[in-house]
């Protein structure tokens, strides 16, 4: 049975473009995988804490030597890692916040980037451990940050996600961007704006 991990990080919920597009992805994925399962992870509803010294200490303590408190500190991280391991495919909604990923997305990445779990060092070289998976990152940006635009150098979302997940071993990644969402605040028709992006998402699911 195929399993999809659906992650959203926008705080806007009903007004969110990235959430609407990941929703379209999931609906199409369910249609093409009628016996599949979907794991839902809303990062804004997960209360993910920032990394602190207690977390780092627990993370680098061998499993068999951890105290009950250390296991408690790592419990959310272990749950998030289990979701990554169970799913064969990921769809991740990411709005651009101040040219980068939302803070909740960074908090989630800090929880799942764990030595011995999602990466290791072999002969002094890093080796990603998230292998045999594929991901689709659906990005929504207020302005236009495509490669040929004036603001391209301000886009730290796709380069960051591509680099960090590549480090973790996930190299089968597709990025679909809906740029220009700020127009929705000044009268741009939402349905007309979303239509081509929804079509692109659905087409990608069918091809994949």
What is the CATH number for 46?
A: 3.40.50.360
> Which residues make up each annotated binding site for FMN?
10, 16-18
For range 108-134, the mean pLDDT: 96
CA atoms within 13 A on the CB side of 10: 24
> Which residues make up each annotated binding site?
10, 16-18
CA–CA distance from 42 to each of 5, 47, 80, 152, 194 (Å)?
11, 10, 11, 28, 22
State pLDDT tens for residues 9-64.
999 999 999 999 999 999 999 999 999 999 999 999 999 999 999 999 999 999 99
Distance between CA 104 and CA 165 in Å, rounded? Answer: 16
State pLDDT tens for residues 56-75.
999 999 999 999 999 999 99
Name the 3-class secondary structure at 20.
Answer: helix
Q: Exposed e or buried b for every residue in 5-34, given b needs 16+ CB within 10 A?
A: bbbbbbeeeeebbbbbbbbbbbebbeeebe
Q: Are 104 and 144 in contact (CB under 8 A)?
A: no
Q: Tokens representing 184?
A: 């929705």
Q: What mean pLDDT, rounded, does the chain reach?
A: 96
Domain encompassing residue 52: 3-207
At residue 208, the pLDDT reads: 67
At residue 184, the pLDDT reads: 93
At residue 206, the pLDDT reads: 84
Domain count, the chain: 1
153: exposed, middle or buried (C-beta count within 10 Å: 0-12, 13-18, 19+)?
exposed
């Amino acid at each position: 049975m195929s399993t999809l991990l659906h992650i959203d990080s926008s705080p806007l919920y009903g007004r969110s473009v990235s959430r609407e597009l990941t929703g379209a992805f999931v609906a199409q994925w369910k249609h093409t995988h009628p016996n599949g399962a979907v794991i839902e992870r809303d990062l804004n509803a997960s209360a993910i804490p920032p990394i602190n010294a207690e977390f780092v200490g627990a993370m680098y303590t061998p499993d068999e030597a951890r105290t009950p408190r250390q296991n408690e500190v790592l419990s959310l991280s272990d749950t998030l890692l289990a979701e990554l391991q169970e799913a064969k495919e990921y769809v991740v909604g990411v709005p651009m916040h101040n040219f980068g990923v939302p803070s909740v997305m960074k908090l989630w990445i800090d929880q799942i980037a764990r030595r011995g779990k999602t990466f290791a060092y072999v002969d002094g070289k890093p080796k990603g451990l998230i292998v045999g998976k594929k991901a689709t990152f659906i990005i929504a940006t207020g302005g236009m940050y495509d490669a040929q635009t004036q603001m391209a150098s301000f886009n730290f979302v796709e380069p960051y996600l591509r680099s960090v997940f590549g480090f973790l071993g996930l190299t089968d990644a597709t990025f679909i961007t809906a740029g220009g969402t700020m127009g929705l605040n000044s009268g741009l028709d939402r349905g007309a704006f979303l239509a081509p992006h929804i079509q692109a998402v659905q087409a990608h699911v069918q091809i994949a």
